[in-house]
Amino acid sequence: MGYWINESIFYHIYPIGFCDAPRINDGVTECRLDKVLDWIPHLKSMNINAIYFGPVFMSTVHGYDTDDYRQIDNRLGTNESFKRICDELHKNGFKIVLDGVFNHVGRNFWAFKDVREKGSSSPYCGWFNNLHFGGGSPYGDPFSYEGWQGHFDLVKLNLRNPDVKNYLLDSVGMWMDEFKIDGLRLDAADCVDPDFFRALRHYTKSKDSNFWLMGEIIHGDYNYWANPEMLDSVTNYECYKGIYSSHNDKNYFEIAHSLNRQFANGGIYKNIYTYNFVDNHDVNRLASTVRNSANLRNVYTVLYCMPGVPSIYYGSEWGILGEKSPTDHDYPLRPGLNLSDIEENDLLIHLRKLGKIRTSLDALKYGSYENMQIRNEQLVFKRRTDSQCVYVALNLADNDMNIGFNAEGAYLVDKLSGKSYKVNGNYVDIDIPAHSSRVLVTSDTPEVLEDDEQDTANSPEQPAAVKTEHKIPEWGTLGRHRHFKGGEYEVIALAKQSETMQDLVIYRELFGENKVWARPATMFYQNVEVNGRLVPRFEYIGE
């Protein structure tokens, strides 16, 4: 496995959706994907340094119905425009991983079109699984064939045909040579012939020993696919479910069990650097899945601090919503987004800090895993290398909590808040605000972090090392408040969200249309960073 993957944080883009391209290919060439270059500063602000692009090659509909593996989808651009994109991203320090959809093709795939036109005289009849003349298909073809999982718009390839295998490997070689890609995500990997993956590994590693191969695996033993003969990594669907479910059910035992099972000493996936995520193009957006939005930050703390490489799905960094629809299918999960849509909120600030923390701490990138303390609503785990020890502590309760555990070092310093804790007799007791987390690094001194290392979004408490002229209003303060951008509002009531019991602040505008708003109390009574200093999001100015 390439060394670069341990140093990476991924950003996952579904290009056809991201670019708001036509759902059905209209044949018009437009370089829509060029806009990703404008996102470079945003991605760098989160310490993102790798991009996984979903399907970019010519297709009729959603990208997974490939028409031509050697042409960029005209809705996204051209081979020349994508080469420029890749060159610019590489210059800016990004690794590039493409979607390798080798299990099936679309009905407009050039070789399948040849079969439809020429029938049994086509030289490509053997390219497709279980293609037989004498029957018929649901599309009215004078032959039958295998559609992937019963979807006859997705024609299953015969990967045991040497011509098919060579065509696909040559296509990957073209991507490596022309676009200089750094890896592949293999779609529907559990359906692909293992011998094809063995050939793919030999071919790609012979061209670039650091080339990364990651398979989409939802169920089963990850070791079957990720091993020295086949793939480097797989999608960690077990922990995807465990992370959101443990927060929804207030049961950290669930994710702690999975992490211990996978990565602790003797863990079954200890030698696999898994691809970790909390949402993607196939599942509901995280903000639509997690019942209490106050827990979103803790979800990402787990993602960034667990073993494996973390991945952010485009737009989820500021908490956009999206759920599958009976009529609109997966399209709500794959919206078009522009830079102007980015919301500078607490979640995005927290992710920027997590990105900096992860890239700076070797224990999070390379360290072992050990559970230290598990409760229903609190979890502490340890990541350790020979030279560094990091403790990750989380609290999803509605109230502040204290938790004690055995610890190394003289002090533990929280990289999120800057707060230090003295270790007494190899034991430490720490406080964790409600719906909050701490990433604690062992230290010989109670060091104070620099201002840009403080996370103002982690909790409503004031970070120790940041000076401010203001105090956060006492929780529950009613009356007039001034937003840090200038507008004035009146807090008229406090309330509970009926489904999640989350504390809400109800307030109305003192200008314009006098609209009434509701906001989580943890966000309302909180400081934000403006021009390098902390100020209240809403400053109390009187009755």
- pLDDT 10s digits, 423-448: 999 999 999 999 999 999 999 988 65
User: Which of 320, 346, 361 finishes a domain?
Assistant: 361
Is 76 a member of any domain? yes
To 10 degrees, the CA torsion angle through 207, 212, 217, 223?
Answer: 90
- pLDDT tens-place string over residues 227-277: 999 999 999 999 999 999 999 999 999 999 999 999 999 999 999 999 999
Confidence band of 475 (pLDDT split at 50, 70, 90):
low
CATH code of residue 492: 2.30.30.320
pLDDT of residue 483: 86
Tokens of 46: 């989160």
Note whether 222 and 272 are within 8 A (CB): yes
Q: Which residues contact 160 (CB under 8 A, 6 or more apart)?
A: 193, 195
CA 428 to chain centre: 32
pLDDT of residue 519: 84
CA distances 402 to 349, 377, 389, Å, are: 25, 11, 21
Query: Residue 449 pLDDT > 50, yes or no?
Result: no
Is 200 a member of any domain? yes
- pLDDT tens-place string over residues 98-151: 999 999 999 999 999 999 999 999 999 999 999 999 999 999 999 999 999 999
Q: Who has greater pLDDT, 456 or 187?
A: 187
User: Which of 301, 331, 361 finishes a domain?
Assistant: 361
CATH code of residue 158: 3.20.20.80
Placement of tokens 């560094």 in the chain? 388
pLDDT of residue 422: 94
Q: Residue 347, Cβ neighbours under 10 Å: how many?
A: 22
pLDDT of residue 121: 98
Asked if 144 and 281 sit in the same domain, the reply is: yes
Confidence band of 469 (pLDDT split at 50, 70, 90):
very low
Query: Residue 450 pLDDT > 70, yes or no?
Result: no
Please provide the average confidence, as pLDDT, over all residues in the chain: 92
Q: How far apart are CA 293 and CA 500, in angstroms?
A: 9
Cα dihedral sign for 439, 444, 447, 452? negative
Query: Residue 455 pLDDT > 60, yes or no?
Result: no
Q: How far apart are CA 367 and CA 383, in angstroms?
A: 5
Tokens of 378: 């609190």
pLDDT of residue 532: 62
Q: Who has greater pLDDT, 210 or 534?
A: 210
Query: Residue 501 pLDDT > 80, yes or no?
Result: no
Is 382 a member of any domain? no
Model confidence, pTM: 0.84
Placement of tokens 């800016």 in the chain? 92
Which of 488, 484, 493 shows the shortest CA–CA distance to 519? 493
Query: Residue 349 pLDDT > 70, yes or no?
Result: yes
Is 254 a member of any domain? no
DSSP β-bridge partners for residue 186: 100, 215
Q: Who has greater pLDDT, 476 or 434?
A: 434
pLDDT of residue 301: 98
Note whether 393 and 432 are within 8 A (CB): yes
Is 153 a member of any domain? yes
Of the ranges 30-44, 79-93, 452-466, 528-542, which one carries the lowest mean pLDDT score?
A: 452-466
Query: Residue 196 pLDDT > 70, yes or no?
Result: yes
Strands 516-520 and 503-509: antiparallel
CA distances 486 to 347, 536, 537, Å, are: 22, 12, 10
Query: Residue 289 pLDDT > 50, yes or no?
Result: yes
What b/e string do you get for 170-186 counting C-beta neighbours within 10 Å, with b at 16 or more?
ebbeebbeebebbbbbb
Is 19 a member of any domain? yes
To 10 degrees, the CA torsion angle through 500, 502, 506, 507?
Answer: -130
Which of 212, 190, 209, 272 shows the shortest CA–CA distance to 239? 272
Task: Write the DSSP assignment of 108-171 as a string of letters.
Answer: T-HHHHHHHHHGGG-TTGGGBTT-EETS--TT--SEE-PEETTEEEEEEB-TTSHHHHHHHHHH
Query: Residue 451 pLDDT > 50, yes or no?
Result: no
Q: How far apart are CA 303 and CA 240, in angstroms?
A: 9
Of the ranges 247-251, 279-283, 515-519, which one carries the lowest mean pLDDT score?
A: 515-519
Asked if 226 and 357 sit in the same domain, the reply is: yes
Of the ranges 339-343, 480-484, 518-522, which one carries the lowest mean pLDDT score?
A: 518-522
To 10 degrees, the CA torsion angle through 361, 365, 370, 376?
Answer: 80
Confidence band of 454 (pLDDT split at 50, 70, 90):
very low
pLDDT of residue 500: 60
Of the ranges 62-71, 194-203, 486-495, which one carries the lowest mean pLDDT score?
A: 486-495
pLDDT of residue 74: 98
pLDDT of residue 11: 98
Query: Residue 468 pLDDT > 60, yes or no?
Result: no
Is 446 a member of any domain? no
- pLDDT tens-place string over residues 363-409: 999 999 999 999 999 999 999 999 999 999 999 999 999 999 999 99
Placement of tokens 């999608």 in the chain? 235
User: Which of 361, 383, 405 finishes a domain?
Assistant: 361
Expressed as residue numbers, the domain containing 98 is 3-249+271-289+309-361
Q: What percent of the chain has pLDDT over 70?
A: 92
**Total domains present in the chain:** 2
Note whether 396 and 419 are within 8 A (CB): no
